[in-house]
Chains A and B, each alone.
Chain A
């Protein structure tokens, strides 16, 4: 594995993230709005505004949301990169073409973890995280969830030669993945059909792992739905499969001429 080229991509993504302050701010403000507006509203509805139980329940899901958006944006930018010529630079590098998939996924993961880390600090400062937090599980949960989100984005990116409309991906991938997980409501309490979708959705397990880390002590149904080992297995398993399929697809297409493939 060549680390310097991978680091080059990570460094570029971080630099872009820091420079595009609007993107960074909105990445942090979006979940805050959910927490303060939706969280407070539903909390009132559930009659637990005093304890803030629902908002604590929401925290892992919102950390997941930060990573879902951040990682997907980086992965899907593969498709945009070609318009600004960066993809040309990547494919002319002396590396096998599947390397682009792996490096881009890793940089998506890193950007997502950085943003989620910042949001976790924010949550802690506001008092939504604290007491009974497992730091090792939190770190593991952040990395595993970010990796799964980035792989999911890459899987979509290698199948889309043109992404003219980011709103389509937003409406048909990011929102369903977020809503049909355990982020907003306990999986056990979902209607049967939705429950099946939630169980199939890898993002559910990321949120669940974060629940183990942050709200492991909450009484059911607000606590985790699955064992932590199940969560980790599903997340890593999904990432390995998704990245492998994406690499195969990218290598297969690039074997036929990567530029023809990129041209769409």
Chain B
């Protein structure tokens, strides 16, 4: 999907943040965050656990107060117009926020009434969303009887019941098995096709963010790289060369002059390969017996994050 990264002057912004920070005592959870997200964009905030993703979402949805900086969501200031912000956003929390003692239908009705939606609207939206999320047949069942994937789907359905302008999804697939994760992504895709809204996603499964229009990498509360996923991956290189071996120092000494620094994880050294015409057979011939396996593959967002996140590699991204 090719979408303009830089907001054009006439595109309204869904989210704008300047110097947004959150400290818990000594811990700087979010550190001077800058965000510019145009309306309608699918934005992914990516990073490992504890990098500050959830704190960012909580600040943007007015549930946590920034210790410094400011932000506006759907045109409303998060500090001065918190009720207006909450009216415009939908939030799907990391942990399920359903009432397990109520049925699927009752959960949606409760959420709709809390948002002051008329009963007829709630019923109509529930029908649509339960159909979309494949939950129609379970609408009269207690939430406690649903599987983890179904609960997540219901969480998301509830988050968009009131047609929010900005939907925040905090780790929507956390703790789900692979089929359920795929299912949830299918739902989100369908939802994005059918409803016009900005989606702000956080995840630490980086491969899930490849359909985003724009992503930003967060590490220790700071953005360390941002851009459209395809561009980031393209800038990263053509291939990743992975070498398993016992004597990685020698491998690095042989290959680094040609390929640059390597990223080491356990018994594996990875190199960025920028030259598309590289001959892997030639490279392999230069390596000695300490090498157990040589693989090359196309890079992905995980590689970009790992390299950008390692200060020793000093890989900058053009952002």
Query: Are A and B subunits of one complex?
Result: yes
Residues of A whose CB lies within 8 Å of any CB of B are 2, 4-5, 7-8, 11-12, 15-16, 19-20, 84-86, 88-96, 255-260
Residues of B whose CB lies within 8 Å of any CB of A are 24, 58, 61, 63-65, 83-84, 86-87, 89, 91, 93, 95-102, 106, 109-111, 113-117
Which single member of A7, A85, A93 contacts B86 (CB below 8 Å)? A93
Question: Other CB < 8 Å A-B pairs besides A85-B98, A94-B84, 14 of them?
Answer: A4-B116, A5-B115, A12-B99, A15-B106, A85-B95, A86-B99, A90-B114, A92-B86, A92-B89, A94-B86, A94-B115, A95-B86, A257-B58, A259-B63
Which single member of A4, A85, A257 contacts B113 (CB below 8 Å)? A4
- Residues in B with CB closer than 8 Å to A90 are 114
Contact at B97–A5, with CB atoms within 8 Å? no
Separation of A259 and B100 alpha carbons in the complex (Å): 21
Separation of A92 and B97 alpha carbons in the complex (Å): 11
Contact at A260–B115, with CB atoms within 8 Å? no
> Taking chain A's interface residues, is the majority helix, strand, or loop, or is none over half, making it mixed?
helix
Separation of A20 and B142 alpha carbons in the complex (Å): 14
7 smallest beta-carbon distances between A and B, as pairs: A85-B97, A8-B113, A94-B87, A257-B64, A88-B97, A257-B65, A94-B86
15 examples of A-B residue contacts, CB within 8 angstroms: A4-B116, A7-B113, A8-B114, A12-B99, A12-B110, A84-B99, A86-B99, A92-B63, A93-B115, A94-B84, A94-B116, A256-B65, A259-B63, A260-B24, A260-B65
Separation of A89 and B101 alpha carbons in the complex (Å): 15
Separation of A86 and B116 alpha carbons in the complex (Å): 17
Which single member of A8, A84, A86, A94 contacts B83 (CB below 8 Å)? A94
State how many angstroms separate the Cβ of B110 from the closest Cβ of chain A.
Answer: 5
Contact at A91–B99, with CB atoms within 8 Å? no
State how many angstroms separate the Cβ of A165 from the closest Cβ of chain B.
Answer: 22
With both beta carbons as reference points, the residue of chain A lying nearest to B116 in the complex is identified as: A4
With both beta carbons as reference points, the residue of chain B lying nearest to A7 in the complex is identified as: B113
- Residues in B with CB closer than 8 Å to A15 are 102, 106
- Residues in A with CB closer than 8 Å to B114 are 5, 8, 89-90, 93, 95
With both beta carbons as reference points, the residue of chain B lying nearest to A81 in the complex is identified as: B99
Given the known A-B contacts A85-B93, A93-B115, A94-B83, are A16 and B101 also in contact in the complex, defined by CB atoms under 8 Å? yes
Separation of A7 and B118 alpha carbons in the complex (Å): 12
With both beta carbons as reference points, the residue of chain A lying nearest to B61 in the complex is identified as: A92
Contact at B111–A89, with CB atoms within 8 Å? yes
Separation of A85 and B65 alpha carbons in the complex (Å): 20
Separation of A250 and B194 alpha carbons in the complex (Å): 38
Given the known A-B contacts A19-B101, A85-B97, A85-B98, are A255 and B65 also in contact in the complex, defined by CB atoms under 8 Å? yes
State how many angstroms separate the Cβ of B37 from the closest Cβ of chain A.
Answer: 19
Contact at A95–B113, with CB atoms within 8 Å? no
Separation of A257 and B61 alpha carbons in the complex (Å): 11
Contact at A258–B63, with CB atoms within 8 Å? yes
Separation of A7 and B115 alpha carbons in the complex (Å): 12
Separation of A16 and B117 alpha carbons in the complex (Å): 22
Separation of A12 and B102 alpha carbons in the complex (Å): 8
Contact at B102–A260, with CB atoms within 8 Å? no
Given the known A-B contacts A93-B86, A95-B83, are A86 and B63 also in contact in the complex, defined by CB atoms under 8 Å? no
Separation of A257 and B87 alpha carbons in the complex (Å): 18
Separation of A218 and B276 alpha carbons in the complex (Å): 100
